[in-house]
Amino acid sequence: MSTLQIRHLPEDVFQALAFRADKEHRSLAQQAIVELRKLPEIEARKLRLQTLQDIESELTGAHTERVLSVEPEALLREDRDR
Protein backbone atom coordinates (compact mmCIF):
# COMPACT_ATOMS: atom_id res chain seq x y z
CA MET A 1 0.00 0.00 0.00
CA SER A 2 1.26 3.46 -0.87
CA THR A 3 1.88 6.16 1.70
CA LEU A 4 1.47 9.91 1.60
CA GLN A 5 3.07 12.48 3.84
CA ILE A 6 1.86 16.07 3.79
CA ARG A 7 4.09 18.85 5.05
CA HIS A 8 3.15 22.44 5.76
CA LEU A 9 -0.58 21.71 5.88
CA PRO A 10 -2.47 24.97 6.39
CA GLU A 11 -3.77 25.27 9.94
CA ASP A 12 -7.40 25.75 8.91
CA VAL A 13 -7.31 22.58 6.79
CA PHE A 14 -5.72 20.65 9.65
CA GLN A 15 -8.28 21.91 12.16
CA ALA A 16 -11.20 21.02 9.88
CA LEU A 17 -9.80 17.54 9.25
CA ALA A 18 -9.10 17.00 12.95
CA PHE A 19 -12.62 18.13 13.86
CA ARG A 20 -14.25 15.72 11.39
CA ALA A 21 -11.92 12.89 12.45
CA ASP A 22 -12.82 13.42 16.10
CA LYS A 23 -16.51 13.60 15.29
CA GLU A 24 -16.34 10.28 13.37
CA HIS A 25 -14.00 8.63 15.94
CA ARG A 26 -11.21 8.21 13.37
CA SER A 27 -7.54 9.04 13.29
CA LEU A 28 -6.36 11.91 11.10
CA ALA A 29 -4.94 9.43 8.59
CA GLN A 30 -8.19 7.45 8.44
CA GLN A 31 -10.22 10.61 7.96
CA ALA A 32 -7.89 11.84 5.23
CA ILE A 33 -8.33 8.53 3.37
CA VAL A 34 -12.12 8.71 3.68
CA GLU A 35 -12.18 12.24 2.30
CA LEU A 36 -9.71 11.54 -0.49
CA ARG A 37 -11.84 8.60 -1.62
CA LYS A 38 -14.80 10.96 -2.04
CA LEU A 39 -12.98 13.23 -4.53
CA PRO A 40 -13.61 11.21 -7.72
CA GLU A 41 -17.31 10.95 -6.85
CA ILE A 42 -17.52 14.70 -6.23
CA GLU A 43 -15.81 15.49 -9.54
CA ALA A 44 -18.08 13.06 -11.40
CA ARG A 45 -21.14 14.68 -9.82
CA LYS A 46 -19.94 18.14 -10.89
CA LEU A 47 -19.41 16.88 -14.44
CA ARG A 48 -22.89 15.29 -14.53
CA LEU A 49 -24.51 18.50 -13.26
CA GLN A 50 -22.66 20.58 -15.85
CA THR A 51 -23.70 18.19 -18.61
CA LEU A 52 -27.34 18.37 -17.51
CA GLN A 53 -27.19 22.16 -17.43
CA ASP A 54 -25.70 22.21 -20.94
CA ILE A 55 -28.45 19.90 -22.22
CA GLU A 56 -31.12 22.02 -20.54
CA SER A 57 -29.68 25.20 -22.08
CA GLU A 58 -29.63 23.63 -25.54
CA LEU A 59 -33.19 22.36 -25.23
CA THR A 60 -34.51 25.62 -23.85
CA GLY A 61 -32.75 27.64 -26.53
CA ALA A 62 -33.88 25.35 -29.36
CA HIS A 63 -37.46 25.30 -28.10
CA THR A 64 -37.61 29.06 -27.80
CA GLU A 65 -36.22 29.59 -31.31
CA ARG A 66 -38.63 27.08 -32.82
CA VAL A 67 -41.65 28.60 -31.14
CA LEU A 68 -40.69 32.11 -32.16
CA SER A 69 -39.61 31.34 -35.73
CA VAL A 70 -42.35 28.93 -36.93
CA GLU A 71 -46.08 29.56 -36.88
CA PRO A 72 -48.22 26.70 -35.52
CA GLU A 73 -50.40 26.82 -38.64
CA ALA A 74 -47.36 26.25 -40.83
CA LEU A 75 -46.43 23.18 -38.79
CA LEU A 76 -49.97 21.80 -39.13
CA ARG A 77 -50.01 22.40 -42.90
CA GLU A 78 -46.63 20.72 -43.28
CA ASP A 79 -47.80 17.74 -41.24
CA ARG A 80 -51.03 17.40 -43.28
CA ASP A 81 -49.13 17.63 -46.56
CA ARG A 82 -47.00 14.67 -45.54
pLDDT digits (tens, 9 = 90+) for 25-81: 999 999 999 999 999 898 999 999 999 998 888 888 755 554 556 777 888 888 888
pLDDT in the model for residue 23:
97
Alpha carbon 69 to chain centroid, angstroms: 34
Tell me whether residue 77 is in a domain.
Answer: yes
**Number of domains making up the chain:** 1
Domain assignment of residue 46, yes or no: yes
With 60 as the cut, is the pLDDT of residue 9 above it?
yes
8-state DSSP, 18 = H
Domain containing 26: what range? 11-81
Q: Taking 70 as the threshold, does the pLDDT of residue 22 lie above it?
A: yes
Rounded Cα distance between 13 and 19, Å, is 10
In a domain, 5, yes or no: no
Please give the pLDDT value at position 63: 54
Residue 6 lies in a domain: no
| 1 assigned to some structural domain | no
